[in-house]
Structure 1
Amino acid sequence: MSLTREIFFVAICAVSHLMTQASLGLALAPLDIIAKDFGTTNAGEQSWFIAGYSLTVGTFIMISGRLGDILGHKRVFAFGYAWFGVWSCFAGFSAYPKHQIFFDVCRAMQGIGPALLMPNALALFGRAYSPGIRKNIVFSFFGAAAPAGFVIGATSGSFFGQVAWWPWAFWSFGITCFALGVLSMFIIPNALSDRPAKSPGFDWSGSIVGVCGLVLVNIAFNNAPLYGWNKPHVYFILIIGLLCLGAFGWVEKRAVNPLLPMHALNSTVGFVLACVGVGWGAFGVWVFYSWRFLTLVRHATPLSISAQYAPCMISGLIASGMTGFLMTHTPVSFVMMTSMVAFCIGIVIAGTQPAQQTYWAQMFVSIIVMPFGMDMSFPAASIILSNHMPREHQGLAMSLVNTVVNYSISVALGIAGTVEVYGNKDPANVEHGIRLAYYTAIGLSGLGVLLGAAFFAKSLLKEGWKVMEH
């Protein structure tokens, strides 16, 4: 590629991560405005506006990565933008029937778009760049797009929700997706869209039981705040989901073309995915409940809250540059540990802030710190798994990281929602319920710090202070 085309190639792929996070902010910012239109007041039902989207993003990513390996990453990537656009428009049209369940279904279907986009974007990077500083830089760009995407999506949702009509946020988003899909067909080189000479088969049985297991477990955790764990249909769904996941492991060990090759899952992969899971799960709780805190406790408007989150775009760029430097001067395991510490510090600062306090004292600091957790953990995990997997399984490598990132957000929201609803004896005391959710996130992030430290110590003992060549 020429330098100009390479710049556009990196941009069109990195924007997929921006659009993924923008869709999160798009529904979170006008959450109360949308809920009012649907007549929804229960916090557990409102959390599905976010959890339903993250559920399908995390569930279908692994399948889409394998589809990219089979059909060609460029084809699946372009189709992902088209799918994303269609269901974004449908989410806007849900304002007409005024049924929350229809909106939740549209949000869930919308999440399949990013599931198609992100692993194939990262797989395109994995195929285009060999291990080294250039690969580190483009992966850092991909991570840096997340904070900017969330702020852009939240600002758009806030603007249309307050000034015009909230469906226009989804319709304009859908039009943007269509435009990006067309551009990707022209910008991404055809050489990166070639199908492998020997195309691997698709693991239908593993895909079915795997998706069923992930969906059922997630539904159980997110229905617990609504109905309680004492209801048979909640814990039976969880049991069936866990049985399906057990069946998935059994099937994958015997499959000719497994969706998830078990031989690739060693202790290194396990540590990385565990760190990413608890860290990003805590982050998901922080995003949702920080927004609720500013809305319900400090009574800020969606547009003013979007402005309060704007500094994370700058700190995200700084964190991205710092990550690129650290990954070429320190072990990747050290970068992963540092990201877990950043997650923990940011959540502790937010969770301990008084109800009435100047924004600059704690909330501003928390918003500045959190992108360091995002922009360090995601590229570090992607680099480790990308270098760990062969070239023909780059889609699978990126699928694992994205699956854990998005699925953990959805499950953690369900756990925090349960703690909020059943730990708060006085539903009128909204602040106390939000505090309990914050404490849940602090516990998850603290576990992430312990796992990150253990992973760094293990790597240090095994490999020493090993730095990637650059």
Structure 2
Amino acid sequence: MDLQAGAPLRYRSAAGRWVLLATVLGSSLAFIDATVVNIALPTIGRDLDADAAGLQWTVNGYALSLASLILLGGSLGDRFGRRRVFLTGVAWFAVASLLCGLAPTVELLVAARILQGIGGALLTPGALAILEASFAHEDRSRAIGAWSGLAGIGGALGPFLGGWLVEIGNWRYIFLINVPVAVLVLLVAARHVPESRNPSAARAFDTIGLVTGAVGLGGLTYGFTAWPEAGPGDPAVLAALALGVTGLAAFVVAERRSAHPMVPPAIFRSTAFSGANVVTFLVYAANGGVFFLVVVNLQVVAGFSPLAGGVALLPVTVLMLLLSARAGALAQRIGPRLPMTAGPLICAAALVWLSMVGPGASYWADVLPPVIIFGLGLALQVAPLTATALGALDDAYAGVASGVNNAVARAAGLLSVAVLPLVAGLGAGNLTDPVTLQPVYHTTMLVCAGLMTCGGIVAWLLIPNRLTAHEPAPSFCDPCSPPMIKRGEESRPG
């Protein structure tokens, strides 16, 4: 059945709610596991006798495979079916989460986290591409806003969930809890999510692009992670950094020459698409530093318990949940430029305030006010940013656009976790030493505020007031999947 034979889903329809539920739950698995481990880092370090590099790789191993392969995930969805690839990613993620929960050493935990990232790379771009292909044009910003508010809060909910699970039992629960959630996602998506793909997409794999992109990110990440202990003159550090730069340069050349590129260079001719991805890189690099160090600083320097450190960021979760869909609707009415400019600037002000949190800090006076301001800024910008990155291109590129934007976001978070402590002067210090961590945290928050400020400026300069409307692309629907609802018919679950 051709998608154009039936009406696109409406945001408030029952069918639309089922699709939104499946994509939100699936995306939340990947988003929560990008941050949930942060709150447990001190406990994991003591339990598994891990050094600072091992703890960083517990975060970076997941982010590396996610960022390296997420372009492939989006491309596979366009080629072979967005629902099919999404379901594969959810199942893969569940198995990898089980391995994380059973890991007896930090080395095996890092390996299992890398496998988790592969599953996340398959499911994350598929979720957004499903929304872009399924909903009516006038409802997409609201649907993406709701997705951002419900799934995106996973990044903020992670520390709270992690703190609670660590306190009531064991850090391994933060991974094992993914398994029943993934089973629920598989049941809902298999029953209610329609299949779609781009029938004009090439079947050939861009193997050279995949390998060079992964090598580039991997080399840079390893080099920056090893730098603090080994030093900038260490041959392994220099070789890794050189390999990373060479790999990324080769990726650009390969995409320009490939007959079937994983990332068609022509999509970057859109100023709105390119600008949205630059803003994404700056904003998510700042977010990576914030969610990596704030909860650690609250425990190690300010003396908060794991649960109290996680609860400290709960207002961000609430504000994202309440305001993201409204921010998407606002951007649909007034255009994305103003929300995408104001949001990062509000976050920057909040991070300057948060940088002053130190020993003996009071939650109510020193932590809660800037956290609320940060949450307001984040809620204002995330949905318009995502909607702009997807809406700037034709619908046929939904998977590629989602893959590129997610890859940029994950790469930014990946590099920020590796680079920011180094820039802030961590050296060979330990993340669990309060004397060492306090100045590093302060400097990192100021650097993150600067990144947010640059994101707001770029948005004002490159994001248009209105996006050009695109004609829906012809897509294939699997006849075995749930049907799209005909115009005028009542949408009913099941």
- TM-score, scaled to structure 2: 0.86
Q: Please give the alpha-carbon distance, in whole angstroms, between the structure 2 residues aligned to 1:444 and 1:395.
A: 30
Q: Secondary structure at the match of 2:175?
A: helix
Pairing of 1:207-246 with structure 2 (within 5 A): 207-246=210-249
RMSD: 2.5
The answer to whether the 8 Å contact 1:224/1:414 transfers is: no
Is 1:27 the counterpart of 2:40? The answer is: no
Pairing of 1:324-339 with structure 2 (within 5 A): 324-339=328-343
How much has 1:428 moved relative to structure 2?
9.1
Is 1:175 the counterpart of 2:180? The answer is: yes
Other-structure match for 1:341: 345
Q: Please give the alpha-carbon distance, in whole angstroms, between the structure 1 residues aligned to 2:168 and 2:466.
A: 54
Q: Please give the alpha-carbon distance, in whole angstroms, between the structure 2 residues aligned to 1:389 and 1:458.
A: 15
Q: How many residues align?
A: 458
User: How many percent of aligned residue pairs carry the same amino acid?
Assistant: 21
Structure 1 residues 234, 321: closer, same or farther in 2, change over 3 A?
Answer: same
1:64 aligned partner, one-letter code: G
1:211 aligned partner, one-letter code: A
Q: Please give the alpha-carbon distance, in whole angstroms, between the structure 2 residues aligned to 1:21 and 1:458.
A: 28
Is 1:51 the counterpart of 2:60? The answer is: yes
Deviations 1:347-367, CA, capped at 9 Å, x for gaps: 111102342232112311232
Deviations 1:102-144, CA, capped at 9 Å, x for gaps: 1111112111222111111110111112432x11111111111
Structure 1 residues 157, 226: closer, same or farther in 2, change over 3 A?
Answer: same
The answer to whether the 8 Å contact 1:316/1:371 transfers is: yes
Is 1:414 the counterpart of 2:425? The answer is: no
Other-structure match for 2:276: 272
The answer to whether the 8 Å contact 1:44/1:417 transfers is: no
Is 1:12 the counterpart of 2:22? The answer is: yes
2:20 aligned partner, one-letter code: V
Q: Please give the alpha-carbon distance, in whole angstroms, between the structure 2 residues aligned to 1:241 and 1:424.
A: 22
Pairing of 1:335-414 with structure 2 (within 5 A): 335-414=339-418
Deviations 1:131-167, CA, capped at 9 Å, x for gaps: 32x1111111111124542454434433332222322
Q: Secondary structure at the match of 2:365?
A: coil
Other-structure match for 1:81: 90
How much has 1:396 moved relative to structure 2?
0.6
Q: Secondary structure at the match of 2:261?
A: coil
Q: Please give the alpha-carbon distance, in whole angstroms, between the structure 2 residues aligned to 1:268 and 1:283.
A: 22
Unpaired runs of at least 5, structure 1: none
How much has 1:426 moved relative to structure 2?
10
Q: Please give the alpha-carbon distance, in whole angstroms, between the structure 1 residues aligned to 2:117 and 2:303.
A: 30
How much has 1:235 moved relative to structure 2?
1.8
Q: Please give the alpha-carbon distance, in whole angstroms, between the structure 1 residues aligned to 2:217 and 2:428.
A: 29
Relative to structure 2, which stretch is displaced further, 217-226 or 69-78? 217-226
How much has 1:466 moved relative to structure 2?
4.1
Q: Please give the alpha-carbon distance, in whole angstroms, between the structure 1 residues aligned to 2:101 and 2:429.
A: 36
Other-structure match for 1:114: 120
Is 1:260 the counterpart of 2:260? The answer is: no
Q: Please give the alpha-carbon distance, in whole angstroms, between the structure 2 residues aligned to 1:377 and 1:135.
A: 16
Structure 1 residues 443, 417: closer, same or farther in 2, change over 3 A?
Answer: closer
Q: Please give the alpha-carbon distance, in whole angstroms, between the structure 1 residues aligned to 2:250 and 2:280.
A: 24
Q: Please give the alpha-carbon distance, in whole angstroms, between the structure 1 residues aligned to 2:371 and 2:59.
A: 20
The answer to whether the 8 Å contact 1:276/1:378 transfers is: no
Q: Please, which of 186, 192, 204 is the counterpart of residue 191 of structure 2?
A: 186
Structure 1 residues 357, 392: closer, same or farther in 2, change over 3 A?
Answer: same
Q: Please give the alpha-carbon distance, in whole angstroms, between the structure 2 residues aligned to 1:17 and 1:398.
A: 13
How much has 1:304 moved relative to structure 2?
1.9
Relative to structure 2, which stretch is displaced further, 318-327 or 250-259? 318-327
Relative to structure 2, which stretch is displaced further, 21-30 or 332-341? 21-30
How much has 1:83 moved relative to structure 2?
0.7
